[in-house]
Chain A
Amino acid sequence: MLLRAENLSKSFGGVAAVQAVELGVERGTVHSIIGPNGAGKTTLLNLLSGIYRADAGQIFFGEEDVTSRAPHEFASAGIGRTFQNLQIFFNMSVLENVMAGRWLHEACGLAAALLRAPSLAHAERRARAESEELLGFVGLERWAHSPSDGLPYGALKRLEIARALAARPKLVLLDEPAAGLNPTETREIDQLIRRIAERGITVVLVEHNMKLVMEVSQRVLVLDHGRKLAEGDPETVSRDPQVIEAYLGVEAC
């Protein structure tokens, strides 16, 4: 088990966004979290990346208890993430966005940075090459030197993924990577998620697009009103009467 959440709860002023949720993500799988709007999916993702601190419960990553750590410590433990409402560094070029993602692996002291130490120049060349390669991996190589604010929406979604991968995470949390994309772009994201998994990176996917979820995931967790409604492989979950009810209403049963 790579990521394990036990009895995780978070409420905002009396509204219980996530209630006693249990989650176990196996290494090397694509694990999806689905649920109707307001089910607590993004809250759960924010808990799993340290942006929110849980009111109760624990989070284990590998053997480590990471529960009360700061967001940057979740990142250094090996948990990367993307954001549903794009959080691109619009003050940097596309390539620089990806290079920034490598901070954990090329942190440099202030003096070295100011004086442009020779060792730094060498590391920078490698950083550039590897970041260009990552842009190729997500299909953005031709945009590498453009300012990031000129990119179309679909490309920015993939830039978020490239930046997260640049930190070399063991697990990456993808928050609605296909939201707002057309069917062609969604198919590309589908392929991209598979290729990320092939790299040996575990994926936790929050997504509304059922087709995408059913195609790429090995396991699905269904949330409703902050509680776990069902969990299992995509087949089982999609036939679960409770899940159908939550999505379509009682009549549909």
Chain B
Amino acid sequence: MSRKGFAVLALVVALLPLALTNNYTYEVAIVVGLNAIVCVGLNLLIGYAGQISLGHAGFFGLGAYGSAILAARYGWPPFAGLAAAVAAVSLIAWIIGKPVLRLKGHYLAMATLGLGIIVAVVLATEDQVTGGPDGMPVPPLTLGSVVLQGEKLWYWIVAVVLLATVWLALNLIDSPRGRAWRALHGSEVAAGAIGIDPARHKLSAFVLSAALAALAGALTAHYSGFITPAKASFLHSIELVTMVVFGGMASTFGAVVGAAILTTLPQLLTVFKEYEMVTLGAVMMLTMIFMPQGLVPTLEKALAAARRKPE
């Protein structure tokens, strides 16, 4: 199933440029890919390990600003800055995760929410370094003397990173460690009874998902050439969680589909854009009421049922 799914995803990603007619559609596809990278990571945490985070835009923002500041203010080679930013965010997630992941359910939601808000406030107020609420320009990525610019090139950069992320996530889920994470979601007390240390595994899921958010954030910053604190805001966190829930928790392809649909809709229909938060809220509510498992798992079940019927 997962191998077939990966082949389909790779095919879609490879053939999509045939349908992308101008820079704007390319740009939408790139943003879809970047959001999908965050969502695949967030889904590992929420959908598989069963731990909520309402602050992942914070990690996205820290990755974006970290990489941007190292390149713009300190003159680091962009790739080195990007790697350093992702490593630093992982470390921050580890330090914060250790106490915060002792909390469960609503309490964990509130703590991560607070974390995201703190990051957004710091980014907006430390204007000496971050440029404040107006944001800051970000130098493009360079490989030797080649400057990585242009929608077409970036499409393929993001495509490769996304496919790699999905492949790694699929491997992980189907490994002993992936089963340990899922066990935590299924029953923490039973996971403990078979020797799984809940604290350790929650933390590694949290750090991995934060690292992927930081990576997508850094890529977003260098791709768009400009970054504002809005990307680290609470609303962006909610957007990300909605994508995961709508696409389907505990479904890697669901996370990609959720990111694709909820990123594209506001771009295609301006009505959605104006009422973006209202739409997101409605999507979240309707998903919870009518397909709590999310789009992709619901479709998978319907397909499986339809296949069984003729027999």
Interface bracket on A: 35 or more
Residues of A within 8 A of B (CB): 49-51, 70-72, 74-76, 80-81, 83, 87-92, 96, 99-104, 106-110, 112-116, 120, 123-124, 127, 163-164, 166-167
Q: Please determine whether B168 and A114 come into contact, CB atoms closer than 8 angstroms.
A: yes
Q: Please determine whether B171 and A89 come into contact, CB atoms closer than 8 angstroms.
A: no
Q: Please determine whether A114 and B195 come into contact, CB atoms closer than 8 angstroms.
A: no
Please pick, from B168, B171, B175, B192, the residue contacting A71 in the complex, using a CB distance under 8 A: B192
B91 to chain A, nearest CB (A): 15
Residue B250 interfacial (CB < 8 Å): yes
Q: Please determine whether A51 and B192 come into contact, CB atoms closer than 8 angstroms.
A: yes
Between B168, B175, B191, B198, the greatest number of chain A beta carbons within 10 A of the residue's beta carbon is seen for B175
**Closest A-chain residue to B208, C-beta based?**
A110
**Closest A-chain residue to B197, C-beta based?**
A72
Q: Mark B198-217, 1 if CB is under 8 A from A, else 0.
A: 10000010001000000000
Distance in angstroms between the alpha carbons of A108 and B180 in the assembled complex? 10
User: Chain A residues with Cβ under 8 A from B198's Cβ?
Assistant: 72
Q: Please determine whether B168 and A115 come into contact, CB atoms closer than 8 angstroms.
A: yes
Q: Please determine whether A80 and B186 come into contact, CB atoms closer than 8 angstroms.
A: no
Residue B88 interfacial (CB < 8 Å): no
**Closest B-chain residue to A173, C-beta based?**
B193
With A107-B176, A167-B194 known, 17 other A-B pairs at CB within 8 A are A70-B197, A75-B193, A88-B190, A91-B182, A96-B179, A99-B176, A99-B179, A100-B196, A101-B194, A103-B176, A103-B196, A104-B194, A107-B177, A109-B177, A110-B177, A116-B171, A123-B176
Distance in angstroms between the alpha carbons of A89 and B49 in the assembled complex? 12
Residues of B within 8 A of A (CB): 168, 171-172, 175-180, 182-183, 185-187, 189-198, 204, 208, 250
User: Chain A residues with Cβ under 8 A from B171's Cβ?
Assistant: 113-116
Q: Please determine whether A51 and B189 come into contact, CB atoms closer than 8 angstroms.
A: yes
Q: Please determine whether A108 and B186 come into contact, CB atoms closer than 8 angstroms.
A: no
Top-3 shortest CB links A-B: A89-B186, A71-B192, A75-B195
Q: Please determine whether A89 and B187 come into contact, CB atoms closer than 8 angstroms.
A: yes
User: Chain B residues with Cβ under 8 A from A90's Cβ?
Assistant: 186
User: Chain B residues with Cβ under 8 A from A80's Cβ?
Assistant: 193-194
Distance in angstroms between the alpha carbons of A107 and B186 in the assembled complex? 19
User: Chain A residues with Cβ under 8 A from B250's Cβ?
Assistant: 91
**Closest A-chain residue to B200, C-beta based?**
A72
> What are some 16 contacts across the A-B interface (CB < 8 A)?
A51-B189, A72-B191, A72-B192, A75-B194, A76-B195, A87-B186, A87-B189, A89-B185, A92-B179, A107-B176, A107-B177, A108-B175, A110-B204, A113-B175, A115-B168, A123-B176
Q: Please determine whether B192 and A91 come into contact, CB atoms closer than 8 angstroms.
A: no
Q: Please determine whether B183 and A100 come into contact, CB atoms closer than 8 angstroms.
A: yes
Q: Please determine whether A108 and B177 come into contact, CB atoms closer than 8 angstroms.
A: yes
Q: Please determine whether B190 and A113 come into contact, CB atoms closer than 8 angstroms.
A: no
Distance in angstroms between the alpha carbons of A141 and B185 in the assembled complex? 25
Distance in angstroms between the alpha carbons of A81 and B189 in the assembled complex? 11
Q: Please determine whether A89 and B175 come into contact, CB atoms closer than 8 angstroms.
A: no
**Closest A-chain residue to B183, C-beta based?**
A100
**Closest A-chain residue to B192, C-beta based?**
A71
User: Chain A residues with Cβ under 8 A from B187's Cβ?
Assistant: 87-89
Distance in angstroms between the alpha carbons of A92 and B191 in the assembled complex? 13
**Closest B-chain residue to A102, C-beta based?**
B176
Distance in angstroms between the alpha carbons of A97 and B198 in the assembled complex? 17
**Closest A-chain residue to B175, C-beta based?**
A113
Distance in angstroms between the alpha carbons of A99 and B178 in the assembled complex? 11
Q: Please determine whether A89 and B190 come into contact, CB atoms closer than 8 angstroms.
A: yes
Q: A91-B182, A108-B175, A108-B176 are in contact. Are A83 and B194 (CB under 8 A)?
A: no
B220 to chain A, nearest CB (A): 23
Distance in angstroms between the alpha carbons of A124 and B185 in the assembled complex? 21
Distance in angstroms between the alpha carbons of A87 and B196 in the assembled complex? 14
